[in-house]
Amino acid sequence: MQITKIGHSCLLVEDKKRILIDPGNFVFMDGSVRPEQFRDIDIVLLTHEHADHTFPEALKVIVKNNSPKVVCNAGVGTVLDANRIPWMSRTTGVRMIECRHGTLPDPLPTPQNTGFVIGKLFHPGDSLWPGEDIHSEILALPIVAPWASMKEVLDWARQMRPHMIIPIHDGFPDYLDFARGFVRRVWPEAPLQGLDGKPINV
């Protein structure tokens, strides 16, 4: 399996298939990544409906160029229906786990959030609270969010005991270096990988 962090919460997972997770709007903001760059994508997985994870404008291009299966929960499906993007609720080779989205400040609604297990990798979306007991070797860990403290993030990561951590939900330029530096300071041995955007072979 090869995993490449594209940006923010977006990962490209390559094994027998090429799977793209959460190509949200933060991925495309600075123009260094364009939807047209994604080729031979077999499956697109979307954890929840927020624009930094589900970006219909980019998805339309990705779907047009690749004809992938788009897999998501019903909340995301409502957004995709409104944009005439076909989707399905499950696919083979991907385990779907309901993961409670972190509670947002009032009056923002808290969306349905689905995590995905692909082989050794667990991508929880915007959650530290999976609805099932799970311990994966590789954890995609959201490290900057308005719905969780850094203490909660690190406590959960230590509890999960992964062999590798790929930081996600870190596409906030003003906070990126701070968040990564803080993790290194309080947990020097944290097995962080993928920060340089190069593929990781696992």
Please provide the size of the chain in residues: 202
- Mean pLDDT, the chain, whole residue set: 92
Query: What is the structure's pLDDT at 179?
Result: 64
H-helix segments, the chain: 56-66, 74-82, 150-160, 173-186
Cβ neighbours around 23 below 10 Å, total: 29
Contact present, 87 and 98 (Cβ < 8 Å): no
Kindly give the pairing relationship between strand 129-130 and strand 200-201.
Answer: unpaired
DSSP code at position 30: T
95, HSE (Cβ side, Cα atoms, 13 Å): 16
Distance CA 75, CA 50 (A): 10
- 23: tokens are 């190509």
pTM across the whole model: 0.90
What's the CATH architecture for 2-193? Answer: 4-Layer Sandwich (3.60)
Residues 6+ away with beta carbon under 8 Å from 191: 162, 163, 164, 165
SS3 174: helix
- 91: tokens are 């696919």
CA 2 to chain centre: 15
- The beta-strand segments (E) located in the chain are 2-7, 10-14, 18-21, 43-45, 69-71, 95-100, 114-118, 121-123, 129-130, 138-142, 164-168, 200-201
Q: Output the CA–CA distances (angstroms, integers) from residue 157 to 57, 60, 116, 121, 183, in the order listed.
A: 33, 34, 17, 14, 11
Query: What is the structure's pLDDT at 6?
Result: 96
Query: What is the structure's pLDDT at 59?
Result: 98
Query: What is the structure's pLDDT at 190?
Result: 82
List of the chain residues with pLDDT < 70: 173-182, 195
Residue from 19, 18, 23 nearest 6 by CA: 23
For the segment 53-106, what is each residue's pLDDT rounded down to a tens digit?
999 999 999 999 999 999 999 999 999 999 999 999 999 999 999 999 999 887
